[in-house]
Structure 1
Amino acid sequence: MRRPGPLIRLALGAFAGVAGVTSVAVPALAHEHPSGITDLVTPAVVRVEAVAHVEVTLLDHVGELQHVERSYEVPIGSGTGVVVNPEGAVVTLTRVVKSEDDAAVYAANKVFADHHKVDIKQDFQRHRLDDSILNRHLQQCYPPKTESATCLTKVTPQIKIFPNIAPADKEGINAEIGHTGDDPDSPAVLLPVGRADGGAGLPTAPLAARVPDKPGSPVSLAGFTGRPAADRPHLIDIAHLDAGGAGKGGRPFKDPEGKVDEPRKIGELAGKGLAGAPVIGDKDGAVVGLLAGGAGDGRMIGVREVTKALAEAKVEPRRGPLDAAFEVALTRFHTKYFGDAVPALRRVLDLYPGHVVAAKHLKTAQDKRGGPDDAGALAAPAQAGGDVPLWPFIAGAGVLVAAVIGGTLLILRRRARRDTAATAPMTPNDRRVAPAVPSAPPSPSPSSSLAPPPAPSPAGEQDPARGEPSPADVTRIVTRSPMPPGLPAAPEGAQGPPLLTARQPATAPAGVPAGVPGRAGQRFCTACGMGLGPAHRFCGYCGHPAET
C-alpha cells in the first residue's frame, strides 16, 4: 500500500491556509509597547506633602499664671513620589518627609510672639530677647523639655499623598514613614494608613533592573509642582544621563549636544516640587531612579538604592491587575487600533475611576475610531450596521476543513483498494479459465440405487430438479492450457501472454463422483483453483477454507 504522506501534508497545508485566512479579521496585538513611553509611570506619580501638627501650651507666670494653648501646622517638606505596589507604598526622598528643622522651636517662637506681642522671627532658629524675664521664659520654652519648662509641646508628623486622578482628591491619603535614610536625598518609603484604593489597587510604576550605562542615555521626568488639579496636571520633561555618579552621590545630567544646561534646568525642577520624581528610562518605560539635588545641581539617585530602601522597609514592589488591564489598553491605543482600545480603556476606568491617562486616551480613541487613522478600520473595514462578526469566517473555515479532510480520506480509500487488488495472491504459473466441475451429488439411498441413471441433459444445461447447478452457478477453475502442437517450447523462466480458455463441464462416468475427468473424488479450492487432498481443511496455497 502506498504511503499517504503527501496527501496528509496537503490536507495540513490547506488547513493552515484556512487558519491564516480567518486570522486576518483579528489584529495581532502581542508585541511590545511602541510609543507613549511615560504612560506606564505617569498614572502612578503622586504629590507628597508632609507637615508637623504641633500642639503647644505656654505656661505664662510673669504675672498671674495663664495657660495659653495653640496648635500649628508646620511644613516639613513637599515633593513628588511614585507608587510601587497596588497597596499604595510610595517611594520618594527623605527630605520630602523628614526635616532637620525642629517644629517645636518654630511653635515656641510663634506662641511667644503671639502672646507676648514681641518681635520674634517665626522660623526654626532659637532667638533671644532684650527683656531678661521674657528671654528667660523664651529659653525655657525651647526644647528639650525640662522641669522648669514654660512650654508643653507635642509634635505629630502628618503625611498626605495626593494621587494623580481627575477630579482631584482634595483630602489625600494619609501615610506613615516606613523607612528613611541618613542623607536628605536618600530614598524614603511611605506606607498608606488603611486602604483607600478599592479592589483593584492603585496604579503602579515598573522598576527597571538597572540604570543605563551609556552616557547621554535619554530619560524623562514626571512630577507635580503643586497639588494635582485640573489646571495643574503632571509635568513631563526630558533629560540625558551623564557618566559616573553612582551610589548615594547620584548620577549627573548632561546634554550630549551641549545646547541646554541640564543640571541647572533639572535642579530648578527639583526645587519647584519635582524632588523625588521618577526618572523614566527611554528603553522600556520603567523607573531607573529618583530626581534629587537642588537649584543648579540636579542629580539622579539610581534604582539600586531605591530597591535597597524597599527591602529594608520590607515592601515588595509589584504590579497589579489594574496595571495589566492598562498595559493591554495602551498597546491597542499606541498601535492605533482605536476601535479595540475603546473597550479596553473603559475597562480601566471601571477598575479605577479617575485614571487621568486612560480618560485622556479614551477621548482620543473615540474621536479616531473608524477613521482614516484607525489601523483596525483599515485592516478590516467595518460593515454598515456594526462591526464585522466572526462567526461567518469560523463557519466557512469549518466547512472548508471538513471538505478537505473528507476528500483526502476518499482518495486514500480508493488507493488502498487499487493497491489491494494489484497485490492479490496469484498462482505461480499463468492461469487459464476452465469450467469447474460441479460438486458431487449426495450419495444415493439404497432404495434409489437400483434405479437407472437419468439421461444426461443437453450440453450446457443442467436439471435443477436433480440438484445440478445451472450454468450461472458453475465455478470455473483456472488451469494451464496445453501447448498447441508444432510450436517451439518457451525458454525456461520466460512467460508469454496469458491465454484463457473455458471447458464445458462433462458428464461423469457412471459410478464415478463428479469432478475433473480422470480424477475421481478430486477437490479444488474455490478461491484459487489449486487441488486439495482428502484431508485438507484449508488450501495450501491461498489458505482459503476447503469446506466453503
Structure 2
Amino acid sequence: MPRLHSVIAGLGALSALAAPLLHPHPSGSTDRVTPGAVRVESSSHVRITLLDDRGVIKQMARDYDVDLAKGSGFTVTPDGVVVTATQIVQATDDPRVYAANRVFAEYFKVKIPADFKRHSLGDADLDRRLQSCYPPQQTDSTCIADVTTNVSVFPYLDPPPPGGLPAQILTSGASPASPAVLKVTKGGEKQSLPTVPLGTTIGGAVESLDVMSLPGRPSAKTPPKLDTAHLNPPGSRTVKERDKVLKLLDAGAPGAALIDDGRSEVVGFVSGGGGEPETITPADDIRSALVAAGVTPRRGPVDVVYENALASYHNKLYTGAIPALQQVLNLRPDHAVAADHLRVAQSKAGTGEDAGVGPTARPAAVEQPKSSLPPYVWAAGGVVVLALLVVGVVLLRRRGTKRPAAGGQTDPGIDGHGLAAQGGLAGEAGSYPPKENSWPPYAVTRVFGAEAARSPEVVGPAPAAPVAADASLPGGQARPADPSPPRGHAHPADPSPPAGQSYPPNPSPPRGQAQLKFCTQCGMRLGQGHRFCGFCGNPTDS
C-alpha cells in the first residue's frame, strides 16, 4: 500500500501537468475583440517662416512633415470613434524645434542637426537669432511656426484602406498615459466599422489578460499581435511580465487594448516605452474621457451578426456558421476575421470536425397528436364498439344457422356467410383443381360460422353414410342414402363430363338450390352477392 507522502507527491505532479490545461486563456476568447483593433499613426505638418532683418527684411517659408508617434488603439463606435494613448497624438518632442533647425541651417548655411534638440552656434549674432527662432513665439522671435497634427487610423480590414482613414482629435489628456479620443472623418459614414466590447472597470477577479497590439499596419497577412499577461495581484494595475510588456511598447504597443480573458472584453490599455514608464489605464478612465468628448460607446449591426456567427463557429457547428458569416461579409465585405473564419468553416463543413454533422440517426417516429378528450370518453367509446361487435357476431351466427324453407335447399357450397367453400383441401380426392395443379394454401377457401366448428379440420373426418340396396339398379348396386355431402364439407367440384358430352359453363342447380357461379379469371367458385372474386379480385360481371 503506498505511503501517504507518495500519494501527495503524485497528486502534486498531476496538478503540475494539468496546470497548462487549466490556464485561464481560453481559445478564441479574443475573436470577439480583434475585429475592432486599429493602428494609429500621427504626424505634424509645420509651416515655418524665417525673418531676416539684416538690412532689407527677408522671409523664407518652408513646410516640413514630422512623424510624431505610432501605436495601437481600438474602435468603440461603428461610425469610427477610436481610443488610444495621448502619447500617440501628442509627442514629447516639439516639432517646431525640428523645423527651426531645418530652416535656419538651410538659410544661413550652417551645420545644425535636423533633430528635436536646441543647439547653439559659435557666432554670437547667429546664435541669438537661432535662439529667437525656437519656441515659444515672442515679439522678437525670428521664426513664426504653425503646426497641424495629422492622425491616420488603419482598421483591421481585408483589403486594408490605402493610406488609412483620416481622423481628428476630439480630446486628449495631460499625461502620455491619458486616453485620447479620435474620430475618423472619412470611412465611418455607413456605421459599419467593427468595434470592441468595452468593459466598465478592472475587477478584483481579473488576472489573465491579452495585450492586443499592432506593430505594423494591419492586413490579412499581419493580424493583431496577441500576448498573454497577468495582473499581480489580480485586479491591480501591475503586470507580472513587466520586461515583456516594455518590449512590446517599444515595438508599437502604446495604446494596445487589454482584453479580459474571462469576459472577452476590453478593460483598459497599456502605454509607455521610449523612456516613459509602463502604465495601465483602466476602462473607468476611458469612459470618463468618452463622456468629456460627448461620445457613448456602442456596437453596430455588423458586430451583432458577427457575434451570432461566433457562437456557432466556436461550437464547431461549421455548417450553421457559414450563412451567418456570409451575412457579416454582406454587411462588411472587408471584415478580416469573418472572412478568415468563413474559409475555415467552408473547409470543415460536413467533415468529422463539424459537430453539426453527426452519425445518421434513424428517423424519429412521427408523434401522433394527443387528443384533448379525457380518458373516460375513450373508454366509453371502446365499450360501445365492443358491444356492437358482439351484436353483429350474434346476428351473423343466427343467419348462418337458419334452416332453409320447405321445398328449398341451400347450396352446400355456400356457407352461412355467403362465402364459397372450396371442396376439400388442396390435394384431396375430388378437389378443384386436381392435386397435380393444386392452389397454394392461401388460395383455399376457409369456412366460417357454426358449420366451420364441425368441419373435418376441427372434428376429424365424418363417418361413412349408410348405404341401402336398390332393386332398380342393375346387379343390386347400392345407392347412397343421401347424396348431400357431410356436414361441414364443401360440395365437391363438378366432375369432368363423359366422353362426347359437355356441361354448360354454369349448369342450372336443382330447384330451390342457389345459382352456382365461377370466376372467369381463375375458375374459383363465387359466393352469392359477391361483386369481386375473393381469390384474384376479378369483377364477377366481367
Letter in 2 for 1:377: V
Cα drift, residue 416 of structure 1: 6.9
Letter of the aligned partner of 1:239 in structure 2?
A
Query: 1:214: how far off?
Result: 4.1
Structure 2 residue 89 is the aligned partner of structure 1 residue 97: yes
TM-score (norm 2): 0.61
Q: Tell me, yes or no, if structure 1 residue 305 matches structure 2 residue 285.
A: yes
Aligned to 1:46: 38
User: Which residue of the other structure, out of 233, 239, 242, is the alignment partner of 1:253?
Assistant: 239
Q: Which has the larger displacement, 275-284 or 178-187?
A: 178-187
Distance 1:314 1:198 in 2: 18
Tell me which moved more, 108-117 or 322-331: 108-117
Aligned to 1:116: 108
Q: State the one-letter code of the partner of 2:239.
A: F
Per-residue deviation, residues 178-235 of structure 1 (Å, max 9, x unmatched): 22222211212112225x13534211111223314248x2111111112224553321
In the TM superposition, structure 1's runs of 4+ consecutive aligned residues that sit over 6 Å from their partners are: 416-420
Corresponding residue to 1:409 among 373, 381, 387: 373
Unmatched tracts of structure 2, length 5 or more: 1-24, 385-542
- Over the residues paired in the alignment, what is the CA RMSD in angstroms? 2.9
Could you say which residue in structure 1 is the equivalent of 2:227?
237
Q: Do the aligned residues in 1 keep the contact of 2:205 with 2:234 (CA within 8 Å)?
A: no
Q: What is residue 138 of structure 1 aligned with on the other side? A: 130
- Pick aligned residue for 1:222 from 194, 212, 220: 212
SS in 1 for 2:373: helix
- Residue 541 of structure 1 aligns with which residue? none
Asked if structure 1 preserves the Cα contact closer than 8 Å seen for 2:246 and 2:273, the reply is yes
* Partner residue in 2 for 1:279: 258
| 8 A Cα contact 2:177 2:279, kept in partner | no
Identify the residue that residue 78 of structure 1 maps to in structure 2.
Answer: 70
Question: What residue number does 1:338 align with?
Answer: 318
Contact 2:203–2:235, Cα closer than 8 Å, also in 1: no
- 1:88 and 1:412, CA in 2 relative to 1: closer, same or farther beyond 3 A? farther
Give the counterpart letter for 2:208 in structure 1. P
Partner in structure 1 of residue 198 of structure 2: 207
8 Å CA contact retained: 2:79, 2:189: no
Give the TM-score normalised by structure 1. Answer: 0.60
Greater shift after overlay, 135-144 or 292-301?
292-301
Which of 94, 104, 117 aligns to 1:125? It is 117
| Contact residue 264 and residue 298 of structure 1 kept, 8 A | no
The alpha-carbon distance between structure 1 residues 380 and 152, as it changes in their structure 2 partners (threshold 3 A), is: farther
Matched with 1:319 is 299
What's the counterpart of residue 154 of structure 2? Answer: 162
Q: Say whether the 8 Å CA contact 1:267–1:295 is kept in structure 2.
A: no
Higher relative contact order (CA 8 A, sep 6+): 1
Aligned to 1:288: 267
Q: Give the corresponding residue for 2:430.
A: none
Alignment size in residue pairs: 359
SS at match of 1:136: helix
| Contact 2:79–2:191 under 8 Å retained in 1 | no
Structure 1 residues 305 and 379: alpha-carbon distance in aligned structure 2, compared to 1, 3 A threshold: farther
Q: 1:353 to 1:418 in 2, by over 3 A?
A: closer
**Is the contact between residue 43 and residue 164 of structure 1 (CA under 8 Å) also seen in structure 2?**
yes
Secondary structure of 2:149's partner?
strand
1:333–1:125 Cα change, 3 Å: same
What is the deviation of 1:299? 3.9
The answer as to whether partners of 1:200 and 1:351 remain within 8 angstroms in 2 is no
Aligned-residue offset at 1:321: 0.8
Residues 433-488 of structure 1, C-alpha deviations (whole Å, 9 max, x = no match):
xxxxxxxxxxxxxxxxxxxxxxxxxxxxxxxxxxxxxxxxxxxxxxxxxxxxxxxx
Structure 1 stretches lacking a partner, 5+ long? 1-32, 255-261, 384-391, 421-548
